[in-house]
Amino acid sequence: MKRIIGISLAALALAACGNEADLDDTTSAPPPPAEETNASDDGLETVSPEEAGYTIEDAVQGSWRTDEERARDPYRHPVETLAFLGIEGDDTVIELWPGGGWYTNILAPWLHQNGGQLIAATFSPDRSERAAEIIEDYKTNYAANPGTFGQIEYTVYDAEAEPMGEPESADAVLTFRNIHNWMSGGHADKFFEEAYRVLKPGGVLGVVEHRLPSSQEQDPSAPSGYVHQDYVKGLAEAAGFEFEAASEVNANPADTADHPFGVWTLPPVARTEDRDGNTPEGFDPERYLEIGESDRMTLKFVKPDTSNESEEADPADDEPADE
């Protein structure tokens, strides 16, 4: 399967973050292009979903995923995460700021094979010429491979962007390690309000985010990349969501969330110096590699569905009729 040279993380972060904190690795590089598949390799073109029973596990094993992507599965647990959030194969799913497409490479084939629809909500191409190029590269890559990824739809979410979809048009909205960026940009509340508006009643908001221990103080701009779990719950509930459940599937107890360069000290970024090229005295990069990727909250919120709530019964209805 053909590969292309990806865009560097540094270039993408520069284009994407604007006046916000560095984006993490979720915006690394567009995924390598997958050739159109056939029955002899992935079986996506010639076998119907009913016959194949195409699952998330099948998508995770897809030949279009790189070794680098697969190496992160033990930290991101895509099968367990999507199962916990209750995402169905025939859902309409909005993925926020999909970056290099790590989750897109799983979601798009799975939804495509089961009658669902993926909508990628990118940051605004108006941020910069480079941002526009990155988004166009991302779109071009997937457009070239509809047999594998289907026809991905696109919208924009950003600080000054228009609404990212029609009201009550999506079954699920998913964001993976993005809340800290929106806190830095001062529009985290806007995201939750937009997610609430675009979701159908009963729809799911799934959040995975770097978790700040409750014993540490939360900076509202989240410069370390870590966020209190209760802070996220408060934002969601203020927008109208009901908190349904939390999972520890993406937890990492070894992460103390107090590293010299914030969450970016840990892999996969594994930063070793600040913006001025300085490395703290005694800094041991191996220590942070041993910790692995960050401790992450995994939260499921639901937009209340009031359509089936019956009106309060009139007490008079219970009175026996006059004889």
**pLDDT tens string 149-201:** 999 999 999 999 999 999 999 999 999 999 999 999 999 999 999 999 999 99
Q: Does the residue 216 lie in any domain? A: yes
Q: Does the residue 156 lie in any domain? A: yes
- Smallest CA-to-CA distance from 298 within 144, 87, 70 is with 87
Q: Does the residue 119 lie in any domain? A: yes
Position 52 scores a pLDDT of 54
Position 285 scores a pLDDT of 96
CATH number of the domain that 63 lies in? 3.40.50.150
Whether 53 and 40 have beta carbons less than 8 Å apart is answered as no
Show Cβ contacts of residue 5 under 8 Å, excluding neighbours closer than 6 positions: none
d(CA 225, CA 209): 9
d(CA 297, CA 256): 14
Q: Does the residue 145 lie in any domain? A: yes
Burial of 306 (0-12, 13-18, 19+ CB in 10 A): exposed
Between 60 and 30, the more confident residue is 60
Q: Does the residue 310 lie in any domain? A: no
Domain housing 275? 9-305
How many helices and strands (H and E) does the chain possess?
13, 8
pLDDT at residue 217 is higher than 90: yes
Residue 46 is which amino acid? T
pLDDT at residue 219 is higher than 50: yes
SS3 220: coil
Per-residue pLDDT tens for 78-93?
Answer: 999 999 999 999 999 9
Q: Does the residue 191 lie in any domain? A: yes
Terminal-residue alpha carbon distance, the chain: 83
Q: Does the residue 124 lie in any domain? A: yes
Q: Does the residue 320 lie in any domain? A: no
pLDDT at residue 36 is higher than 50: no
In the chain, the number of structural domains is 1
- Smallest CA-to-CA distance from 179 within 113, 229, 126 is with 229
The size of the chain, in residues, is 323
pLDDT at residue 2 is higher than 60: no
For the chain, give the mean pLDDT: 85
CB atoms closer than 10 angstroms to residue 154: 15
Whether 101 and 12 have beta carbons less than 8 Å apart is answered as no
pTM value is 0.84
